[in-house]
Amino acid sequence: MASKVISSSPKMKQSYKLLEKTRLSHDSFLLRYGIPEGRPILGSDPILPTCIKIGYQPSVEGHKALTKSYSPISHPNQEGYFDLVVKSYPYEKGGGVGEYLCDMDVGSLITAQLKGERMMHGSSSVLDRGWKHVGLVAGGTGIAPLLQIARILLEAEGGSKPSVHLLFVNHTRKDILGREAIEALAKEHPDNFFVTYALTRDEDEEGECQNGSLPGGGEDDSPARFARGRGDADMARAALPTPSANNDTMVLVCGRDGFVAHWAGPIARAPTEDGSKGPKIQGPLLGVLADAEFTVDQVFKY
């Protein structure tokens, strides 16, 4: 059978139609977009993480166009569509693209462009890296690329799967984005995917504890554990793999700049000859993960 012809390069700027829209919380949605006809998947490789850049022109006279990058939570090999988790940050708070996307009706079109592959310690792949233990530390919408990476690791064909430990930090239970998808994956891979939710604010719910831990909140079918607090070395030791001297452990961190800095130290900028802002680089390992005795080659600031 002849292979399907791809009508346009995945990296070309093009239109994607909103197929489904599901509310996840008061200010976030799961948005499903169709892949243009003639292309089976979003990217060009079914096992490499994907990310798209979406453009938006605010209806404010004289204002320049805005762009924002989103990583799908669906597996890169998903045919026909991809899923985004989008939080509706409004224009007046420095955002705008999120509100623009969340206000769209099913059938509307966005203009987006697939971004280049992200290199992680010398490779863009997350498979065949010798990782037996993977930690994923997510804050808020930082869950999106890490959930996609979890899918790639857990759904790979052949060979032994790594143990994947997700530590997802949010203010309250109601803020846990994509919880249904996370727990479905945990139930599908109970021996390899372990989930801990850390909550940073008190909630008007029964069962709160004062010793740094939280019960499951009456959700007996949830495979996740709960912790309390912004995160420290003790939480890292309890929720993530143990640092390894064999280079078979990797921890990926994704979230807002302050979140990444707290857990692993800030993203740095490479020096330039003219003094301008250089490209982003990993920078030194600091923060919680350094306190938990991980090394710089065992952590990537995603």
Q: 102 and 174 share a domain? A: no
Q: 297 and 223 share a domain? A: yes
List the one residue out of 77, 70, 74, 20 whose CA is nearest residue 43: 77
Q: Is residue 93 part of a domain?
A: yes
Q: What gap in Å lies between CA 233 and CA 269, rounded to an integer?
A: 26
Label residue 27 by pLDDT band (50, 70, 90). Answer: confident
Calculate the alpha carbon distances from 54 to 30, 260, 276 in Å: 16, 23, 26
Q: Is the pLDDT of residue 79 over 80?
A: yes
Q: 93 and 159 share a domain? A: no
pLDDT in tens, 99-108: 899 999 999 9
Q: 163 and 283 share a domain? A: yes
Q: 277 and 139 share a domain? A: yes
Q: 95 and 204 share a domain? A: no
Q: 35 and 184 share a domain? A: no
Q: Where are the beta strands (DSSP E) in the chain?
A: 14-25, 28-34, 52-56, 66-70, 81-87, 109-114, 133-139, 163-170, 193-199, 213-214, 225-228, 249-254, 268-269, 280-281, 299-301
Q: Is residue 6 part of a domain?
A: no
Q: 215 and 297 share a domain? A: yes
What is the CATH number for 71?
A: 2.40.30.10
| Residue located via tokens 């090394």 | 295
**Boundary of a domain, candidates 58, 79, 114:** 114
Q: Is residue 122 part of a domain?
A: no
Q: Is residue 230 part of a domain?
A: yes
Label residue 65 by pLDDT band (50, 70, 90). Answer: confident
State pTM to two decimals.
0.89
Mean predicted lDDT score pLDDT of the chain = 88
Q: 109 and 230 share a domain? A: no
Q: 141 and 102 share a domain? A: no
Q: 26 and 71 share a domain? A: yes
Q: 214 and 295 share a domain? A: yes
Q: 141: domain range? A: 133-301
Give buried/exposed letters for 166-202 (b at 16+ CB in 10 A, else e): bbbbbeeeebbbbbebbbebbeebeebbbbbbbbeee
Q: Is residue 9 part of a domain?
A: no
Q: Is the pLDDT of residue 252 over 70?
A: yes
Q: Is residue 5 part of a domain?
A: no
- Quote the pLDDT of residue 59: 73
pLDDT in tens, 208-228: 433 344 444 435 578 999 999
Based on the structure, what is the number of domains in the chain? 2
Q: Annotate 109-141 with DSSP letters as a single string.
A: EEEEEEPPPPPBTTBS-SSSS--SEEEEEEEGG
Mean pLDDT of 65-90: 93
Label residue 293 by pLDDT band (50, 70, 90). Answer: very high
**Boundary of a domain, candidates 87, 114, 141:** 114
Evaluate whether 163 touches 241 at the Cβ level (below 8 Å): yes
Give buried/exposed letters for 111-133 (b at 16+ CB in 10 A, else e): ebbbeebeebeeeeebeebebbb
**Boundary of a domain, candidates 55, 86, 114:** 114
- Longest CA–CA span in the chain (Å) reads 63
